[in-house]
Structure 1
């Protein structure tokens, strides 16, 4: 249960929102405020604060503990940097405009660097567990979200910002336009495993009665945010049995996209085809092979299979 924000805090956030809108896009303002609310609500749940956040008590220790909690939950260093930047900007405003702080608590707060990127290829058992969890939940929205990540390799932002007008799905065929947030739109055709759950969700009574340009909605912020998708995926994994949890507890939604690239490569797709489908393109619109290659790195087992093929040819 979230701790309520007191009226003084709400008034300050509203005033800060108007301040940001004078120089930032609506999208950036929305991201900053979501981070601030998450941070403030977390502090409000701490016993020492009695459920009320006082701006004057904003401290470096609060921020460091909050960032550590995010890291424990699997949030990337990039997201932690974004959180620190949002809170630092807010603290500067409290110092300069409201005189509620004497120093910025985010100053020199250390965020550990992101570990070297190693794309993940899931095992057949992990894939089976995840698909089974989705099937057991019997939730149309969840089915469609998972399918877009697992069967279409969509980014979290592609799913979060997907528009109804960009979904061209029918009973038999379907394609969507993704990449609206990044400004690099592309049209991708859908496998039956994606088309069917997306079509069923869009035509469900639950979705039809809601008037919104976004496909996936949220009562809190109008549409399902990227963080909301991460939270949904975390809640899905928590429904796993103990032996299933041990297999999939550390898998992230983004790793569904990485695994899609491996499966596409195994199915015979070229790097250029995978690059196009995943949206790895240069400013000139050509496939970015370098960006895609890291998603389809060879592993030791694959090399062993190639060596066996050489041995078999030599025997013949």
Structure 2
């Protein structure tokens, strides 16, 4: 019997891990042994149980059979990942966390001799797609340049003009030196040094004055 000093373990005692989900007679005990065999925080334990229940529920509905760890295939894990992303429209981070937790549980099953292979090993996590940076709209740019003109701030005008008309990063601008700028009466060029590390040569951008 578990001690009263471990409420997070009592919460998942007995067969309540997969309560309401058809599962094999040993499956809940395996989950409990996995959780108790690792020094997880209460929050981490809950996350594991929630993700494993989510997987078990999907497994029983998709395959129309009780959840038994020995019956899980690589296709099951891959389809579960796709179900969370496409069917449930869950965030990439949420899907990857569930996949990692399922993989870790099955890895423990292999290490302790309950399975001969981990079906989740070959299932890759989803790639995180970096969102495009959101720029200022035309009215915001106009207000910004107008305020610079009203303040007659020559330095700010040069800085924001360079950012606006070249699309450079702040780090690119900070590293500029005078000889990197080639300015004439009607146009100009600038060489960004930081671009040299990622390409064979310097990055040259043309700058044309203009209004909004």
Structure 2 distance, partners of 1:98, 1:18, is 17
- Tell me the secondary structure at the aligned position of residue 45 of structure 1: helix
TM-score by length of 1: 0.36
Trace 1:120-269 onto structure 2 (pairs within 5 A): none
**What is the CA deviation profile of residues 109-159 of structure 1, one whole-angstrom value per residue up to 9, with x for unaligned ones?**
22232111357xxxxxxxxxxxxxxxxxxxxxxxxxxxxxxxxxxxxxxxx
Structure 2 distance, partners of 1:110, 1:303, is 42
Structure 1 distance, partners of 2:136, 2:80, is 37
Give the equivalent residue in structure 1 for 2:181.
none
Give the equivalent residue in structure 1 for 2:72.
58
Cα gap change, 1:5 to 1:118, in 2 (>3 Å): farther
Cα gap change, 1:4 to 1:112, in 2 (>3 Å): closer
Structure 2 distance, partners of 1:71, 1:55, is 23
Residue ranges of structure 2 left out of the alignment (5+ in a row): 1-18, 152-212
Give the equivalent residue in structure 1 for 2:91.
76
- The structural deviation recorded for 1:305 is 5.0
- The structural deviation recorded for 1:24 is 2.0
Structure 2 distance, partners of 1:3, 1:118, is 43
Give the equivalent residue in structure 2 for 1:300.
137
Structure 2 distance, partners of 1:303, 1:112, is 37
Structure 2 distance, partners of 1:62, 1:112, is 16
Structure 2 distance, partners of 1:77, 1:24, is 23
Give the equivalent residue in structure 1 for 2:42.
26
Find the partner of 1:13 among 31, 37, 42.
31
Kindly report structure 1 stretches of 4+ aligned residues shifted beyond 3 Å: 304-313
- The total of aligned residue pairs comes to 131
**What is the CA deviation profile of residues 238-287 of structure 1, one whole-angstrom value per residue up to 9, with x for unaligned ones?**
xxxxxxxxxxxxxxxxxxxxxxxxxxxxxxxxxxxxxxxxxxxxxxxxxx
Cα gap change, 1:44 to 1:304, in 2 (>3 Å): farther
TM-score by length of 2: 0.51
Structure 1 distance, partners of 2:32, 2:81, is 24
Cα gap change, 1:17 to 1:112, in 2 (>3 Å): closer
- The structural deviation recorded for 1:39 is 0.7
Give the equivalent residue in structure 1 for 2:54.
38
2:128 paired with 1:114: yes
Give the equivalent residue in structure 2 for 1:89.
104
**What is the CA deviation profile of residues 265-314 of structure 1, one whole-angstrom value per residue up to 9, with x for unaligned ones?**
xxxxxxxxxxxxxxxxxxxxxxxxxxxxxxxx54224225546778999x
Structure 2 distance, partners of 1:77, 1:107, is 18
State whether residues 76 and 114 of structure 1, in contact with CA within 8 Å, keep that contact through their aligned partners in structure 2. no
- Higher helix proportion, which one? 1
